[in-house]
Structure 1
Amino acid sequence: MANFEGKIALITGAASGIGLAVAGHLADAGAAKLILVDRDADALAAVELRAATVRVAGDVADEALWDRVDLAGLDHAVVNAGVAGASTIADHDFAEWRRILSVNLDGAFLTLRAAMRAMKGRGGSIVLTASAAGVKAEPGVAAYGCSKAALIHLAKVAAKEGATDGIRVNAIAPAGVETRVWDAVPMFAERAAQIGRDAAFAEMAKLATPLGRYAKADEIAAQIAFLLGEEGALITGTTLLSDGGYTL
């Protein structure tokens, strides 16, 4: 496990799924302070970690939110907050398109901007949670896939801009991860109601990935920690595909 002793980290979408797993991983690795952002205030309040914790309830796509988040001394950031949705382009409601792009792209930009401003002149490392859906085209994921493809490119631009300040920026692109974001996907929700969540995940993974399984949130958290930590000191502007072979 990478050592984050004494470090300060920002994590968005931190009340569940990958964000919560990253928070736990960094806390266990010695982080001094974690700044957790999530719009689910109740779930955020329930998070208990072995590190000093600052909880900020709010929408990452609200520019005003970032005026009240104290990022002094920030070492690491995980730009993770996101939402899912599914619709064909012809049937896509524009308000739903904007909802997904607002959180996944606008919110990521605002988070990234705030983190890079806090790290300027000091250095640090940032990971953006993208998705294999931003690499491989599939029917019904236009808004989600486009938002994640944009994050992959945003990480590259940020890596070039941040390099002179010693700021590394990378992305991670999982395929299926067993988190509650899938509950917003009608196909999964319907199947989970029929056979249960675990069985639905297993069924989809066997169909979608050569390795025949989806990732656990803790597995993705460990990979993010690698990109954040000293072991990844020369890695910047890259996207780690962690997809079980889905994009092959």
Structure 2
Amino acid sequence: MFDGRKVLITGGGTGIGAAAAARFRAEGARVAVLGRRPAPLDEVAARTGALPLVADAADRAAIEDAVRTVVARYGGLDVVVANAGGHGLSAVGDTDDADWEQSLRSNLTSAFATVRAALPELVKSRGSVVVVSSLAGLFAGPSVAGYTVGKHALIGLTRSLARDYGRHGVRVNAVCPGWVCTPMADEQMDALSAAAGLADREAAYRRVTENVPLGRPARPEEIAAIIRFLASDDSSYITGSVTVADGGAHAVDLPTIALATT
């Protein structure tokens, strides 16, 4: 399906990005993984054969240079997976200017700058963009203002790009995962486990998914499969869409949880 296609994945060193790199490589794509930390990128490169690129996806000069490197190495660019993101874990009243700016930079500006740099090549290839937002792009969790606002804004970015560049053959879609077993989520589960006196990380995951219909978090590979679909010709008439992958969490009517007997 992806033989010879050129794919750039930001936030490609761990979690969903690393799983997406493995999936695209398994289907014959030429993949570059980009992130700020060399060690995880090198591990993904060793395991999958992807090209590691150390850069901040939100830095205009750095991401433009990375795109040029991919084009020079592979001869073009067909798919961008805008997966880079970060924290923003405080309520509005507890968020200072620096934290707010960093939250938006890591969660929103990273995708904006990456796609902007890649657009000329994507127009040439009539390519595809998959933006990784979050269930936090649709709903608000407690004390995650920066993260929530950034992930909501990614959906607006997705729709704006789809509206403006569909006429050039470029498709842009978003995926909104719920809980996924990634290093960032693991950190949150460890903190929850300690705060709530739970036995371990697995107990914390069970706690946060106890009202999710499927009753478990996702594996990164499950989200990678959705990214692969949205980037593929199998979704050739889909653009501007938001795919929710949360085990059914968004289907739950919160005020009725207390009425559940099983």
Q: TM-score, normalised by structure 1?
A: 0.92
**Displacement after TM superposition at 1:212 (Å):** 1.3
What number of residue pairs does the alignment pair up?
A: 241
**Displacement over 4 Å in runs of 4+:** none
Match in the other structure for 1:203: 207
Match in the other structure for 1:164: 167
**Could you tell me which of 40, 43, 54 is aligned with 1:43?**
40
**Could you tell me which of 101, 104, 109 is aligned with 2:112?**
109
Match in the other structure for 2:64: 67
Q: For 1:78-227, list aligned pairs within 5 A.
A: 78-183=81-186, 185=188, 188-193=189-194, 194-207=198-211, 209-227=212-230
Match in the other structure for 1:24: 22
Give % identity. 37
Q: 1 CA distance for matches of 2:165 and 2:124?
A: 10
Match in the other structure for 1:237: 240
Label 1:49 to 1:162 Cα distance change in 2 as closer, same or farther (>3 A): farther
**Displacement after TM superposition at 1:43 (Å):** 1.2
Amino acid in structure 2 at the alignment position of 1:190: A
The alignment yields a C-alpha RMSD, in angstroms, of 1.5
Match in the other structure for 2:8: 10
**Displacement after TM superposition at 1:50 (Å):** 4.2
Amino acid in structure 2 at the alignment position of 1:82: G
Amino acid in structure 2 at the alignment position of 1:56: L
Amino acid in structure 2 at the alignment position of 1:23: A
For structure 1, the residue ranges without an aligned partner over 5 or more in a row are none
Q: 2 CA distance for matches of 1:190 and 1:116?
A: 39
Label 1:190 to 1:121 Cα distance change in 2 as closer, same or farther (>3 A): closer
1:167-215 Cα offsets, whole Å, 9 max, x none, are 1000000111111112554xx33234553222221221114x2221111
1:136-166 Cα offsets, whole Å, 9 max, x none, are 1232121111101100110011011111221
State yes or no: 1:56 paired with 2:53: yes
Q: TM-score, normalised by structure 2?
A: 0.87
Structure with larger Rg: 2
For structure 2, the residue ranges without an aligned partner over 5 or more in a row are 252-262
